[in-house]
Amino acid sequence: MLFLFKKSRWLLAVLVMLVVGQAFGHGMSEAEKQTIIDGGNLSYLWIGATHMLSGYDHLLFIFGIIFFLTKFKDIIKYITAFTLGHSVTLIYATFNGIQVNYFLIDAIIALSICYIAFANLDGFKKYLGIKPPNLLLMIIGLGLIHGLGLSTRLQQLPLNQDTLLMNIISFNIGIELGQVIALTIMLLVMALFRRSTLFEPFSLISNYGLIFAGLFLFIMQMHGYSHITNPDEFGFSSDNHIHEHIKMDEERAAQVIKNSQHDSIE
């Protein structure tokens, strides 16, 4: 295990940076909102593409799907299943105004990352002693959940009811374009590693890393959810809560410096 860590510790570092950035990032920026409101269908397409490329939870899930796929037809089959799943709920939920709490849906999406990595590690047979569920059906089902998360994001915007369907479709096309770009990069990276003797340790550390990332995201999303369900417990907003932690860290650091200076004088 030490060998795996030494050879792939950079991957864990990347995963940590990704999940930390994603954990506190909900919704779209104000600039994105204004762009999509003022623009037409091309703006929706652009926002969809950029949202997918910055949606680390979706990207990590896709990375898990393709990890052990080597045949082009298998890649097409499973990615199409995921695309079908998230497209259905993205379009249907947005068009019908079906909304869910974004912290909760993102928490479930985080668990989907854990699921796909656990399946890649053959966890059902190794640890549970059972036959794994049909992967294709599970990807379709989990895709439906991812689509609900994407719909929740899109519905944070004041959508134009007159052009609603075309706006949703444009956003979805953008999502797929972003997915194709990300998928292409992932496949190129995977092709390089498959030719290396490090692929086996890389596969283990990657999938365990995906489980870690999924669990971390799940905890952070549930932490965020607790802010909106139990505001009195915290006494301030989620953003202020984060800033307060930073302030406390700075105060502790200042105290350590002060104590060290005092000791040196003595």
pLDDT the model gives residue 199 = 87
Contacts of 57 (CB under 8 A, 6+ apart): 22, 106, 109, 110, 113, 149, 217
pTM reported for the whole predicted model: 0.77
pLDDT mean values, one per 10 residues, the chain (266 residues): 45 46 51 66 87 91 94 95 96 93 95 97 94 96 96 82 88 95 94 85 93 96 85 51 47 49 52
Domain limits of the chain? 2-235, 236-266
pLDDT the model gives residue 193 = 84
